[in-house]
Amino acid sequence: MLKFTSNEIRDIIISMVVISFIFAHVLRGGNLTNTISFMPATFLMVGLGFMLHELAHKYVAIRYGYWAEYKMWIQGLIFALIIVFLTGFAFIAPGAVYIHGNYIKNNENGKISLAGPSTNIILALLFLLFTPLFSDLEIVRFAILGAIVNSFLAVFNLIPLGMFDGAKIFRWNPLIWVAAMATALILWAKSSGII
């Protein structure tokens, strides 16, 4: 069963607000008024994608018998805000689920790491599959936003460097990493209108 500390709930909420602002800022071309008015939509989409991503890591870690807790990274949030204001690019590093145990096996760590991006891939796919079912243009735009945000979160987290999920997945199984990254890139390109 998933349990959360008060610090963990606070960290998740702060992280959600900051990355919602960043996505709204990028998607609305840097106009502050448009950014603020668009934040409820990005909060829902980023909140859904971000929170389920982190919960997936936590859930799988707990299933393996490890202690897991989300902690925000204040420097990462500040850096993300600076980057978006200077470049208009969304660099997302709000924090991570920290996992503790006596010995975390490579395959367990790979599966725990894969849980987050896989959640975003599934959400992006669902948003894209359901988009043609709606005739209301606002709902269609909202669904496309959900696909863009979740596919971007998957691609970003699958970068195979440092402490990113992608590095742990790649060390565990490079073929699974390639399949996950290829799927996330295709979904990102499709939802962004590139293909």
Tell me: the pLDDT tens digits for 92-111? 778 889 998 878 899 999 99
Domain count, the chain: 1
Instruction: Specify if 1 maps to a domain.
Output: no
Task: Quote the CA–CA distance of 152 and 22 in Å, as a whole number.
Answer: 13
Asked if 28 and 88 touch (Cβ cutoff 8 Å), the reply is no
* pLDDT surpasses 70 at 150: yes
Residue 3: per-residue pLDDT? 84
- CA proximity to 70, closest of 46, 96, 43, 105: 96
Residue 114 has pLDDT above 90, yes or no: yes
159, 90, 20, 186 alpha-carbon torsion, rounded to 10° = -50
Q: Which of 19-28, 64-73, 151-160 has the lowest mean pLDDT?
A: 19-28
| CA atoms of 117 and 99, how far apart (whole Å) | 17
- Whether residue 143 is contained in a domain is answered as yes
Whether the pLDDT of residue 88 is over 90: the answer is no
**Residue 102 included in any domain:** yes
Domain for residue 171, yes or no? yes
Domain span at 18: 6-192
pLDDT at 133 (0 to 100): 81
Note if 69 is an active site residue: no
| 135 found inside a domain | yes
Sign, CA dihedral 114-119-120-121, equals positive
Mutual angle of helices 6-27 and 137-157, in 10-degree steps: 110
Q: Is residue 140, in this structure, part of any structural domain at all?
A: yes
Tens-digit pLDDT profile for residues 37-72: 989 988 888 888 999 999 999 999 999 999 999 999
Q: How confident is the model at residue 4 (pLDDT cuts 50, 70, 90)?
A: confident
pLDDT at residue 172, as a whole number = 97
Q: Of 54, 69, 108, 138, which one is the catalytic site residue?
A: 54
Residue 118 maps to a domain: yes
pTM of the model: 0.86
Q: Is residue 153 part of a domain?
A: yes
If you average pLDDT over residues 128-146, what whole number do you get? 85
Tell me what pLDDT residue 195 has.
67
Q: Which percentage of the chain shows pLDDT scores above 70? A: 99
